[in-house]
Amino acid sequence: MRLRVLGCSGGIGGQDKTTAMLLDDDILIDAGTGVSSLSMDELLKIDHIFVTHSHMDHVALIPLLVDTVGFLRQKPITIHALAETLTVLQEHLFNWHLWPDFTKIPNSDVPYMRYDTLSVGQSIHLGNRKITPLPANHAVPAVGYQLDSGRASLVFSGDTTTYDALWDAINQIDNLKYLIVESAFCNQRKEIAIRSKHLCPSLLAEELKKLKRPAELYITHLKPNEAKQTMQEIQQSIGHYNPKALANGQLFEF
Handedness of CA 114, 119, 125, 129 (dihedral sign): positive
Question: What pLDDT does 72 receive?
Answer: 98
- Return the pLDDT at 227: 97
Which domains occur in the chain, in start order?
A: 2-253 (3.60.15.10)
Stretch 52-71: mean pLDDT, rounded? 98
Segment 47-51 mean pLDDT: 99
Q: What is the reported pTM? A: 0.98
Confidence band (pLDDT; 50, 70, 90) for 74? very high
Q: Which of 63, 66, 57 is nearest to 13 (CA)?
A: 57
Per-residue pLDDT reduced to its tens digit, 168-212: 999 999 999 999 999 999 999 999 999 999 999 999 999 999 999
* Sheet of 77-82, strands arranged across: 113-118, 77-82, 48-50, 27-31, 20-23, 2-7, 251-253
Q: What is the pLDDT of residue 24?
A: 98
CA-CA distance, 225 to 229, in Å (whole number)?
Answer: 9
In the prediction, which pLDDT does 129 show?
Answer: 98
* pLDDT given at position 120: 98
Q: What length is written for the chain?
A: 254
Q: Kindly report, residue by residue over 94-146, the tens digit of the pLDDT.
A: 999 999 999 999 999 999 999 999 999 999 999 999 999 999 999 999 999 99
Quick count: other Cβ atoms within 10 Å of Cβ 210? 14
What is the biggest distance separating any 2 CA atoms in the chain, rounded to whole angstroms? 56
Query: What rounded mean pLDDT belongs to the chain?
Result: 98
Taking phi over 0 as left and psi of -120 to 50 as alpha, with beta for the rest, 200 belongs to beta
DSSP-derived 3-state class of residue 94 = coil
Confidence bin at 229 (pLDDT 50/70/90): very high
Collapse the DSSP code of 133 into the 3-class scheme (helix H, G, I; strand E, B; otherwise coil) and give the result: strand
Instruction: Grade residue 160 by pLDDT with cuts at 50, 70 and 90.
Output: very high
